[in-house]
Amino acid sequence: MSAQPDYTPVTPHAPAPGAPADLLSQLRADRRAITWVPAFEREWAAALEESCRTFSLAEVYKVVQDWQVRLAHAPAVDAFVASGYDDSEFIDMAELRGRHL
C-alpha cells in the first residue's frame, strides 16, 4: 500500500521569477491602479499565507496568472464598454430563479 494520493494535483504553470514584481508595476501604471493594486495585494498576501500553510505555490501562481489575464484583457473590455453596448435586454438570473421557486 502506498502513502501517495490516488490523484496528482494539477499545479498551474509557473510564472517567471520576476513576474509578480513586473505585474505589480504594470498594475500601478494602469488607470485602474487605485482599485486594482489593493485588490492584487490582498490576493497576493492571502496566496502567500496559503502557500506557507500548504507548502504549495499553486495559489501564488494562480494569483499571478489571474491578474496577468485581467491586465491583458482590460483593453478589450474597455473597447466593449466604450462601444455603447446595449444591455437593455439583460436577464436578471436571480429574479428568474425567484419566479420558479
Binned at pLDDT 50, 70 and 90, residue 40 comes out as very high
Of 22 and 7, the one with more pLDDT: 22
Binned at pLDDT 50, 70 and 90, residue 80 comes out as confident
* Average pLDDT score over residue span 36-46: 96
| C-alpha dist (Å) from residue 82 to 75, 85, 89, 95 | 10, 8, 18, 28
60: closest CA among 4, 97, 98, 13?
Answer: 13
* Average pLDDT score over residue span 38-55: 96
DSSP the chain: --SS-SS-PPPPPPPPTTHHHHHHHHHHHSTTHHHHHHHHHHHHHHHHHHHHHHT--HHHHHHHHHHHHHHHHHHHHHHHHHTT---TT---HHHHHHHT-
* Average pLDDT score over residue span 22-50: 95
From CA 79, how far away is CA 76, in angstroms rounded?
A: 5
The pLDDT of residue 26: 95
* Average pLDDT score over residue span 40-50: 96
* Average pLDDT score over residue span 61-74: 94
Q: Is the pLDDT of residue 94 over 80?
A: no
The pLDDT of residue 30: 93
The pLDDT of residue 97: 72
